[in-house]
Structure 1
């Protein structure tokens, strides 16, 4: 067992299982996917820390506990089509690829798309398609989706994401309107969408997803 494998097991035992993440398929995915290969080489030593890790200016890999709890709450099934928004270098997509049937991973930056494709290939995640596009509009042509997962917080949820959920589909996202974010699951039922808050956390807000300032009189 190499050092990273040892740290990965410590992460699952010390940060994930203790946070009531009981899904065995998710635990197995977290144990099998090498988190470090989805970070710049200079950040490999931080891969399994109990903290967010900045992998590009203004972009952060979610804290392992928060990420795992949000995936757990999304209840990804083996037959699900998943949209992974703001996938970064692809770590979330690799985990989700072991949970669902097919993952569409989306990034707004072409260079990031290339890095994600390379890392996902190394991880053997051959059921992931990485695409470039506007994160706020999602990927209507690929949907509707059983699960939409968002890597980071937003201050407002774009309507386009909710519109791309299949009936019974779940949107897993952290809504952050103040110092504390609310990890929230939005669930489509027919023409309506319900929501439930599952836990508090404080991931960084994704660039461009800050609420627009209103007029002050």
Structure 2
């Protein structure tokens, strides 16, 4: 089965990433090396390399379902972030830890922020078992980021948002980049936020429809 997964991984890189203009060598190499199936729970492991979002936590009364992002938009977001070998990275909504594992192969060190205690525990176990020793998983509200370790060179948000809160942008270093998909469904646009001299410039990059992160969705206000 290991060889089957390795074959599927190569097909993912060649058929889902390269064909959608992911050309960053570091991103392609990382996604070629990291065993995505290790971060997919139970019976869904067989679906680890499909070109769809994969449910990693079912919806509960107090929490929306959570998903592992489809490979192509994930790779394109990382390429947009222009991650460098020395970068200190915050991965917001890391889920079972796969995106943090990929980021750890491109940058220097990664903090994976997760609000779901079960997902955080699963991420910690898997990353430790596989030897990703430059990743730390922390638990807390996603919208607050992780100010005690800020500032960061790169922040990645692992789901669509209605808007990026100032609390996260404040945690970027000067020259730091944040990437997120702003908007839901067909209205979603991958967006780069770049901090320079204390100011944040925004560049909308490409259309991108991914699953939302509930922590970043605005509650509609009641109107008379």
TM-score tier by shorter-chain length is over 0.9
- TM-score, normalization by structure 1: 0.96
Structure 2: which 5+ runs fail to align? 59-64
- Whether the 8 Å CA contact 1:34–1:123 is kept in 2: the answer is no
Counterpart-to-counterpart distance in 2, 1:68 and 1:123: 21
Q: After superposition, give the CA deviation of every residue in 1:1-22 in whole Å (9 maximum; x if it has no partner).
A: 7100000000000010111111
User: Does the residue aligned with 2:214 lie in a helix, a strand or coil?
Assistant: coil
Decide which of 170, 174, 184 is 2:191's aligned counterpart: 184
Deviation, 1:194, is 0.5
Identify the residue that residue 39 of structure 1 maps to in structure 2.
40
Q: Could you say which structure has the higher helix fraction?
A: 2
Aligned length: 217
Q: C-alpha offsets along residues 170-209 of structure 1, whole Å, 9 cap, x if unaligned?
A: 0111111564311111000112100111111111111232
| Alpha-carbon distance in structure 2 between the residues aligned to 1:177 and 1:41 | 28
Higher alpha-carbon deviation: 115-124 or 145-154: 115-124
* Aligned counterpart in structure 1 of residue 130 of structure 2, from 123, 127, 133: 123
Q: How does 1:16-35 map to 2 (within 5 A)?
A: 16-35=17-36
* 2:149 is the counterpart of 1:142: yes
Gaps in structure 1 of 5+ consecutive residues: none
Q: Deviations over 1:88-118 (max 9, x none)?
A: 0000000000011110111012221110011
Contact 1:103–1:129 (CA<8 Å) still a contact in 2? yes
Is 1:214 the equivalent of 2:221? Answer: yes
Residue 153 of structure 1 contacts residue 204 of structure 1 at CA under 8 Å; is this kept in 2?
A: yes
> Residue in 2 aligned with 1:80?
87
Report the equivalent of 1:70.
77
RMSD: 1.2
Deviates more, 1:193-202 or 1:173-182: 173-182
Q: 1:82–1:145: 8 Å Cα contact kept in structure 2? A: yes
> Which whole-Å deviations, capped at 9, do the CAs of 1:14-62 have from their partners, x for residues lacking one?
0101111111111111010000110112111111001111110210111
Give distance in 2, aligned partners of 1:169 and 1:96.
Answer: 15
- TM-score of the aligned structures, taking structure 2 as reference length: 0.94
